[in-house]
């Protein structure tokens, strides 16, 4: 994030940057730093290993005085080099006259580093980023170029993705910002400007911004800004957009909850309600999707549906795939890990609908899969939670989850909203392609019942905490589910891994006997999703018998009234009966709460687990 504004105005530049970085901490939180000028010829840089709170403490101790209001700051998620103070951004040139913060990856940094090293440049960090200030320094020295010309020259040498902010002692009242691949926006205030990775960072100060395009750079002073294409110096397009200031509203407070994760799980009933609101009419059994209207004809022609997403969003797409397949007149759907999408190279054409699913809307792998599909003229639809995010802006049809900000790194309410929105999109597509359908009505009716049923699952919180207390001693877990709840098992295992750091594997229950069963003994428990489903329930019970015969402890999520499961499982968490295809929406909640309570008992950093970031903006 960068800030520049009229000195002596209401905003202290250091505080503006700290507040903005705190809002961007979801992108990474292993080290942080700021650079500014304090009347000396060199740039002053303060950096720490750890979170923004550590940087805040350092700033409180040092009480930095800024002589110019231009200031840049960064919170890091390590790609190259361990998360320590030296590798934290900003990085500077040999003379500490240039400071740079960077998101993305410079793929040719090794060659550049060797070349610059030959020319006598001294590197102190292990990062890819450090080549940027040195490249600018070289351009500035060799051709006595201006600050702007030097940055342009340096950017041309970079291969990879970047959003960069640069300060230079030649013009201490200016920030230069540029991007390729990684998001960057310029926030417009009154005699003050902000540059940041996303609107979250600046929504406290302004709701007007310009999203820079790939290949653009902006030169910002307190008097104004200019946008250029850094390849040829031509003028950039500068469309001012107003973003939704509700991003900043009270949703992002923990309130009565100890952690954001628990708060977000507890929001499930309203999340389902909001995902359906204005879309599903529970009286007429119809689905209206304003966003889809303009594309109705194209949607009717769609022959192939593909999902591309990562992590939890990918598991939501696996769940959604079953709903798509179940509804009439939809030929089926394929789900891909976004990071693998381009290697499969399925035959994409203008009759293909690519659905990108992403809470943040900024995930680099998902964005690249989307760009790949666009090359082949596919129609693109994004199921996204953060409005104005990169994916929302790049797809033909942005469809919002309306789940409210998700702050905890472990995704919980986003999964629920994504599955509900996928169901709503599937219903609309099925309606567009066919006529009346009893099956659709059944799904719609049950979606209307879900908020109440989810509230009942949440009410079983104490039972789940008790099961977590008994089970937290184990070092490994197998998560099993069949058919609709195979994705739930995968998601349950992911939740446990990421916040408790306990090893867990998700499997389709039927696969267990083909290998993983070898792991099972009385110290290797299984968390099974064994809800009522006329097609697979009996088979799941047989799979659990096989585990029991080997002494494996069993925790089961089952449907209320099921007595057979009580004979098999050591602990049972009951959920209300629902349609099998919608059961993941209920069954995932015990998985989320179980992981949460185990992690609390293990005293983990619940909302910001180690090594992770809320939004993964590198491929
Ligand atoms: C897991 C988790 C991640 C994300 C993944 C995709 O709890 O949060 O697996 O689901 O990084 O992120 P989005 O949905 O923002 O694209």
DSSP collapsed to 3 states, 123-181: CCCCCCCCHHHHHHHHHHHHCCCCHHHHHHHHHCCCCEEEEEEEEECCCCCCEEEEEEE
Cα(309) to ligand 1 centroid in Å equals 8
What pLDDT digit, counting tens, does each position of 178-188 carry?
999 888 999 99
| Nearest atom in ligand 1 to 360's CA | 15
Residue 7 reports pLDDT greater than 70: no
107 shares a domain with 212? yes
Locus of tokens 């342009």: 152
Cβ of 358 below 6 Å from ligand 1: yes
Cβ of 616 below 6 Å from ligand 1: yes
What pLDDT digit, counting tens, does each position of 270-280 carry?
999 999 999 99
Name 505's Cβ contacts closer than 8 Å, sequence gap at least 6. 476, 477, 478, 479, 493, 516
402 shares a domain with 283? yes
486 shares a domain with 433? no
269 shares a domain with 226? no
CA dist 39 and 43 (Å) reads: 9
238 shares a domain with 113? yes
What the block records as the tokens of 291 is 């966003």
What pLDDT digit, counting tens, does each position of 147-174 carry?
999 999 999 999 999 999 999 999 999 9
> What pLDDT does 460 receive?
95
Relative to beta strand 280-281, strand 71-76 is: unpaired
CA angle 212, 214, 216 (to 5 degrees): 60
SS3 at position 113: helix
372 shares a domain with 283? yes
278 shares a domain with 404? yes
- Strand order of the β-sheet with 554-559 is 503-508, 476-481, 526-530, 554-559, 571-575
596 shares a domain with 478? yes
Residue 250 reports pLDDT greater than 50: no
Q: Count CA within 13 A, CB hemisphere, residue 205.
A: 30
DSSP labels, 194-245: EEESSGGGTTTT-SEEEEPPTTEEEEEETTEEEEEETTT-PBPP--EEE--G
Where does a domain end: 410, 425, 455?
455
Where does a domain end: 251, 279, 298?
251
CATH number, residue 387: 3.40.50.10490
pLDDT band at 249 (very low <50, low <70, confident <90, very high): very low
What pLDDT digit, counting tens, does each position of 49-86 carry?
999 999 999 999 999 888 888 999 999 999 899 999 99
Report which secondary-structure segment, H or E, holds 264. Answer: helix 260-266
CATH number, residue 169: 3.60.20.10
Ligand 1 pocket: which of 309, 311, 609 to mutate (most atoms <8 Å of CB)? Answer: 311
Residue closest to 28 by CA, chosen among 596, 415, 409, 497: 409
Q: Is the dihedral of CA 126, 78, 52, 176 positive or negative?
A: positive
Where does a domain end: 398, 428, 455?
455
Cβ of 411 below 6 Å from ligand 1: yes
167 shares a domain with 235? yes
Q: Using an 8 Å Cβ cutoff, are 189 and 5 in contact? A: yes
Residue closest to 265 by CA, chosen among 399, 406, 401, 400: 406
Share of the chain above pLDDT 90, in %: 84
Q: Count CA within 13 A, CB hemisphere, residue 514.
A: 5
Return the exposure string of 396-430: e unless at least 16 CB atoms fall within 10 Å of the residue's CB, then b. bbbbbbbbbbbbbbbbbbbbbbbbbbbbbbbbbbb
470 shares a domain with 445? no
24 shares a domain with 83? yes
CA dist 247 and 243 (Å) reads: 9
Q: Which DSSP symbol is given to 184?
A: -
Partner residues linked to 37 by β-bridges: 43
Ligand 1 pocket: which of 312, 317, 392, 592 to mutate (most atoms <8 Å of CB)? Answer: 312
Nearest CA to ligand 1 atom 13: 358
For 472, the domain range is 460-619
Domain tally, the chain: 3
Cβ of 410 below 6 Å from ligand 1: yes
Relative to beta strand 224-229, strand 216-221 is: antiparallel
What pLDDT digit, counting tens, does each position of 557-594 carry?
999 999 999 999 999 999 999 999 999 999 999 999 99
Cβ of 417 below 6 Å from ligand 1: no
Q: Is the dihedral of CA 375, 381, 384, 387 positive or negative?
A: positive
Residue 534 reports pLDDT greater than 50: yes
318 shares a domain with 280? yes
Report which secondary-structure segment, H or E, holds 387. Answer: none
Instruction: Give the range among 4-18, 303-317, 450-464, 561-575 with minimum mean pLDDT.
Output: 4-18
């Amino acid at each position: 994030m960068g800030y520049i504004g009229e000195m002596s105005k209401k905003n202290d530049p250091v505080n503006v940057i700290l507040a903005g970085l705190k809002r961007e901490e979801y992108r990474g939180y292993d080290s942080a730093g700021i650079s500014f000028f304090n009347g000396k010829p060199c740039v002053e840089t303060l950096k720490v290993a750890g979170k923004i709170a550590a940087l805040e403490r350092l700033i409180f101790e040092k009480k930095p005085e800024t002589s110019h209001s231009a200031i840049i700051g960064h919170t890091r998620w390590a790609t190259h080099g361990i998360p320590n103070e030296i590798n934290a951004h900003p990085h500077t040139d040999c003379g500490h006259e240039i400071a740079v913060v960077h998101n993305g990856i410079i793929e040719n940094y090794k060659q550049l580093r060797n070349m610059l090293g030959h020319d006598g440049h001294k590197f102190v960090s292990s990062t890819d980023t450090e080549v940027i200030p040195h490249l600018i320094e070289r351009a500035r020295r060799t051709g006595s170029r201006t600050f702007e010309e030097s940055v342009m020259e340096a950017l041309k040498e970079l291969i990879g993705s970047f959003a960069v902010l640069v300060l230079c002692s030649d013009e201490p009242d200016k920030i230069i910002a540029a991007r390729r691949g990684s998001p960057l926006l310029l926030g417009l205030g009154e005699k003050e400007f902000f540059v940041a990775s996303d609107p979250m960072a600046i929504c406290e100060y302004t709701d007007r911004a310009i999203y820079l395009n790939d290949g653009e750079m902006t030169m910002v002073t307190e008097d104004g800004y200019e946008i250029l294409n850094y390849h040829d110096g031509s003028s950039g397009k500068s469309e001012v957009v107003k973003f939704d200031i509700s991003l900043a509203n009270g949703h992002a407070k923990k309130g009565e909850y100890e952690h954001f994760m628990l708060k977000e799980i507890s929001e499930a009933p309203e999340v389902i309600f909001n995902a359906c609101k204005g879309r599903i009419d529970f009286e007429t059994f119809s689905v209206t999707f304003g966003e889809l209207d303009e594309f109705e004809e194209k949607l009717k022609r769609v022959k192939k549906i593909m999902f591309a997403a990562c992590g939890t969003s990918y598991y939501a797409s696996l769940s959604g795939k079953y709903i798509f397949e179940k509804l009439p007149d939809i030929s089926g759907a394929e789900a891909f890990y976004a990071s693998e999408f381009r290697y499969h190279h399925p035959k994409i054409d203008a009759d293909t609908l690519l659905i990108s699913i992403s809470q943040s809307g900024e995930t680099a792998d998902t964005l690249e899969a989307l760009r790949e599909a666009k090359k082949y003229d596919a129609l693109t639809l994004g199921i996204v939670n953060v409005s104005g995010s990169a994916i929302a802006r790049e797809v033909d049809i942005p469809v919002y989850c309306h789940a409210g900000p998700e702050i905890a790194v472990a995704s919980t309410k986003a999964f629920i909203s994504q599955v509900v929105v996928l169901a709503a999109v599937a219903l609309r597509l099925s309606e567009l392609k066919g006529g009346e359908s009893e099956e659709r009505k059944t799904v719609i009716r049950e979606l209307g019942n879900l908020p109440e049923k989810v509230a009942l699952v949440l009410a079983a919180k104490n039972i789940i905490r008790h099961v977590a207390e008994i089970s937290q001693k184990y070092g490994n877990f197998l998560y099993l589910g069949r058919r609709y709840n195979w994705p739930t098992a995968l998601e349950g295992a992911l939740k446990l891994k990421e916040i408790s750091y306990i090893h867990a594997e998700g499997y389709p229950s039927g696969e267990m006997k083909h290998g993983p069963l070898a792991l099972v003994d009385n110290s290797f428990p299984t968390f099974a999703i064994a809800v009522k489903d006329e097609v697979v329930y009996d088979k799941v019970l047989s799979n659990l018998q096989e585990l029991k015969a080997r002494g494996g402890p069993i925790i089961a999520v089952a449907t209320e009234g099921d007595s057979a499961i009580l004979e098999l499982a050591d602990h049972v968490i009951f959920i209300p009966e629902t349609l099998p295809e919608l059961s993941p929406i209920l069954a995932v909640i015990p998985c989320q709460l179980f992981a949460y309570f185990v992690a609390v008992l293990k005293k983990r950093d619940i909302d910001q687990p180690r090594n992770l970031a809320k939004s993964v903006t590198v491929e």
